[in-house]
Structure 1
C-alpha cells in the first residue's frame, strides 16, 4: 500500500496554515475523470489503514474507528476495484476480509465476539457479498496456509447465524441490536440489524436462486413493515425501537443508511422475483429518500439529522456513502428508477469531489458537499462516502454489468450449511470494538439483560453514564 506523506492530522495542519485549496475536479460523465478522482480519494482513505503493518491486525482501523466501519470500508474497496480496474489494493482487501472472517467465515473474531452487534457482523457480510457478486479475487488467492470459505459462503454463514437469533419472544420477531444479553442495547431492535439481515437475505436469494432466502427476506420485510419502524403510507423509516415497551414507539431520527439498507434489499428482491409488490415498495422508499435527504434543490445528498448542525460523529460520517452505493445498484436492478437516481448521484459526486479541498494536500474530503469550502472535518468516513459518490458513476458511464449471480457468471461457491457448525460465538482471532449505533441506554435496557450477575447490574446502574454519540 502506498504510504501517505501527510504526517499530521489535516485539521491541525489547517490551524497551522497548511491547508491548500486544491480540490478534486470531477466530470461525472467522463470515465477518466471519475477514475482519477476515485484514485485520489481512495489513496487518502487507505492511508488511515494500518492493518497491513507489521504487528497490527489485518482488517482493523485505528481509534476512533469502530470495527464495523472497517467492514464497510472494504466493501467500498471491492467496488473500487470493480469500477476502476485498479488492482493496487487487492491483496490488502483480501487479507483484511479473510482475517476478520476467520476459517469459519462468520465474521466473529475472538477479540470482537463479546462486543459486536448483529449490525456490525452484517456490514462485514455485505462486504463479502460485494466480493461474491463482483467476482472479486478468490479469498484463497493469498498463500497463507489457511483455507477460507468462499465469499458467498461467508454471507451464508452470517445469514445462518443471524437466523438463529430471530427473536419471536418480543415484538413478534426481529433481530436485536446486540447479540449478547450482557451488552447495553440488547433490548433495542434497530433498522441497521434488521435492514442488514433483510438485504443479506435478498442478495443471497438473487445470487443463489434458493427460495429459502426469498422466504426469509419476505418474512423479515413483513416484520419490519408491520412494526413501528415503518410508515407504509409515507414510507418513512425510523431508526429503532425497544422491546421494554413491546416496540410500541420508535426513535424517529432519519438516517440515510437505514433507507439504503432497505432500498437495496428491495431492489435485489424485486430483481429476483419480479413481484410487483416489491417494485411498489422500491419506488415508495426511493421517493421518501429523495424527499428527505436531498432537501436543497441541488440534487446533493445531506445527512439531515446531523450535517446541518455540524454534529455528525465518527459513525455518521459514513452513512451517505453506503446509501449512494446501494442507490447505484438499485438503478441497475430496477431500471424504472434510473432516471431518478442518476442525476442525484452525478450532482452529489461533483459536490463531494468539490468538498475534497482540505488538509495539507488540498484533497482531504469533508462532509458538507453543497459547498466547496472545506468544512474542517476529515477521516475514513468522509473519504469513503466521497469515494462511493464518485465511483458509482462508472456504472452509468461504462454501462457496467449488474451484480453477478450463479446463473449469470458468478463464480463464488455456495455452502448453504455455512456457519451452522458453530454456536455463533466465533472461532477466529481478531480485535476491534464497538457497534454501529451508540444511543443512550435506559434503565429498561439494562433490566432486560436478565442473565447479568447482581454485581454487574449494580456496576451498570451505578457506574458512569453511557457515552452518547447521537
Structure 2
C-alpha cells in the first residue's frame, strides 16, 4: 500500500490549540441538527485538505497520488451531499470547477487525461455525482457549460452500447478498452452503477426506457449469480469462463448501489410488491457488513491475525457510498426508515468517536466497530466515510430529491453522449498502438428515445 499523503505546512500551526477545539467539536449529538452540521463541517474541512486541484497550475478534479481519478469524482459527490444536507456552500466553487473540468471534449466524463485507463465504474462515479447535483438542486453551471442532468444522461448513453452479449449473455465489462487489465472481468460495481443511474434517471425523467435498462441489468446480475437468492452481491466474474465462476468477495458499495437502485425502482413502480421484496432482501443481508448496527468493510477490516486491515486506498472509501445510498433509499422508499436509520445513527456515533487523530485531532479512523479508536491511518477515504454517514442523519431535515416535474432545474438532453467516442480508434489516435486498436472494437451508439411518463417521490 502506498503511503498516505502528509498534511500541508499550514495545518501544522498551533496543533495543540486546534486539537483541543476539534475534539470538543466532534462530540457528536445526533439529536441536534447544529451538532451534526458542525461535525460534518470539521470532517469535510479535513477531507478537502487532501485536494490540490484548485491551486494555480494544478488540475481541477484530480486528487494527488495515491488516489485514482474515480475517487475524486466520489469525493465531489460527497461535497454535493454536504451542501444538500447542511446548506453550507463553502465547497461549491471548487466542486463545480472540478466537475466541469473533467467532463472531457464530448461532455461525458471521458477526459483525454483519463480515457486510456478509464473503466466503466470510474466514469459512472462522476456521472452519479452529476445526477446527485440534479436531484439535490445543486447550483447549476453557467448556461454555456454542460448541465448536471445532461452529463448524467451522457454517461448512461455511452455505457448502454457497451452492453456485451458476446460473453455471459450480457452485462458491462469492468474496463472500456481491451488493452487494459480487467477487460475480461465483468464486475458488479460497473454493472451496479449502471443499474443505479438507470433507476434514478427513470424516476427523475419519468422515462420508461431508463427503467427498462435498469430492469434488464437487475435480471442479468441475478441470472449470472452476482446476486444470489439471499441478496449477497459478489465482486464479479471472468468472462473468459463465460461467467461460470464468481469471485465471492463482498464489498459494501456493491450492496449499496443495488440498494438505492432498487429503491428507485420501487418508487418508479408506485411501491410495487416485487421491488419492496427486493429492498427487504437487500436490507436484511446488510448484516454481512455490520457489527451490531455499525458498518464494517468486512472483507478487509481487521481480517489479519493481529487484527490489522488489508484495505487498499480504494476500499477505505467504500463505506461512504453505502451510507450515501442508505440515506437516498430512505427518501425514495420511506418504509425502509425504521430499518435503515438506526444503521446511520449508530455508525455515525461510532465514526465520530474515531475522529481524534492527525495533527488537528480531526482525522477519522477506519474500524468504527472497535470503539473510540483512531487507528493511525489518514486519508480521503476515511474522512469521506465519516462525513457521509454523519451528514446522512440529516435526511429528515431536508427537502426530498426533485424530479423534472417537481422542482428540478437542471437541463437534460436525452441524446447526450450519442456522438461520444467509445472505442480507442477515436481516442488518443496519436498514441494508441496497432495492437491496442486490434484488441478493442468500436461499439455502436445508442440514442435513447423518450416516451411520455410520470414519476413520483415518496417523501417523508
2:222 to 225, 230, 246: 225
- The unaligned stretches of length 5 or more in structure 1 are 142-146, 431-447, 454-470
Residue 393 of structure 2 aligns with which residue?
A: 393
Distance in 2 of aligned mates of 1:426 and 1:329: 36
Q: How does 1:282-297 map to 2 (within 5 A)?
A: 282-289=279-286, 291-294=287-290, 296-297=291-292
2:174 to 172, 177, 182: 177
Q: Is the 8 A contact 1:108 1:424 kept in 2?
A: no
Residue 364 of structure 2 aligns with which residue?
A: 365
How big is each residue's C-alpha offset from its partner over 1:16-37, in whole Å with a ceiling of 9 and x where there is no partner?
A: xx98793721011210000100
Q: Is the 8 A contact 2:120 2:175 kept in 1?
A: yes
Per-residue deviation, 1:213: 0.5
Per-residue deviation, 1:149: 2.2
1:208 to 198, 205, 210: 205
Per-residue deviation, 1:364: 0.7
Distance in 2 of aligned mates of 1:247 and 1:103: 35
**1:315 matches 2:309:** no
Residue 304 of structure 1 aligns with which residue?
A: 298
How big is each residue's C-alpha offset from its partner over 1:355-410, in whole Å with a ceiling of 9 and x where there is no partner?
A: 100011111111111221211111000000100011001113x1x22211011111
Per-residue deviation, 1:249: 1.1
Residue 442 of structure 1 aligns with which residue?
A: none
Q: Is the 8 A contact 1:133 1:404 kept in 2?
A: yes
Residue 253 of structure 2 aligns with which residue?
A: 257
Residue 419 of structure 1 aligns with which residue?
A: 417
Distance in 2 of aligned mates of 1:138 and 1:428: 30
Residue 235 of structure 1 aligns with which residue?
A: 231
TM-score (norm 2): 0.86
Distance in 2 of aligned mates of 1:114 and 1:429: 8
Residue 39 of structure 1 aligns with which residue?
A: 41
TM-score (norm 1): 0.84
Distance in 2 of aligned mates of 1:139 and 1:240: 36
Quickly say closer, same or farther: Cα 1:429–1:78, change in 2 above 3 A: farther
Quickly say closer, same or farther: Cα 1:216–1:281, change in 2 above 3 A: same
Counting matched residue pairs gives 418
Q: Is the 8 A contact 1:110 1:428 kept in 2?
A: no
Residue 150 of structure 2 aligns with which residue?
A: 153
Quickly say closer, same or farther: Cα 1:426–1:242, change in 2 above 3 A: closer
Per-residue deviation, 1:59: 0.4
Tell me whether 273-282 or 86-95 shows the greater mean CA deviation.
273-282
Q: SS of the residue aligned with 1:198?
A: helix
Distance in 2 of aligned mates of 1:419 and 1:194: 18
- The unaligned stretches of length 5 or more in structure 2 are 1-5, 304-308, 429-434, 441-460
Distance in 1 of aligned mates of 2:102 and 2:415: 20
Q: Is the 8 A contact 1:158 1:419 kept in 2?
A: yes
Higher relative contact order (CA 8 A, sep 6+): 1
**1:384 matches 2:371:** no
How big is each residue's C-alpha offset from its partner over 1:277-303, in whole Å with a ceiling of 9 and x where there is no partner?
A: 1111011011101x1111x32x21111
Per-residue deviation, 1:308: 1.5
Q: SS of the residue aligned with 2:294?
A: coil
Residue 433 of structure 1 aligns with which residue?
A: none
Quickly say closer, same or farther: Cα 1:427–1:41, change in 2 above 3 A: farther
Q: Is the 8 A contact 2:164 2:172 kept in 1?
A: yes
Per-residue deviation, 1:268: 1.0
Q: SS of the residue aligned with 1:189?
A: strand
1:72 to 71, 74, 86: 74
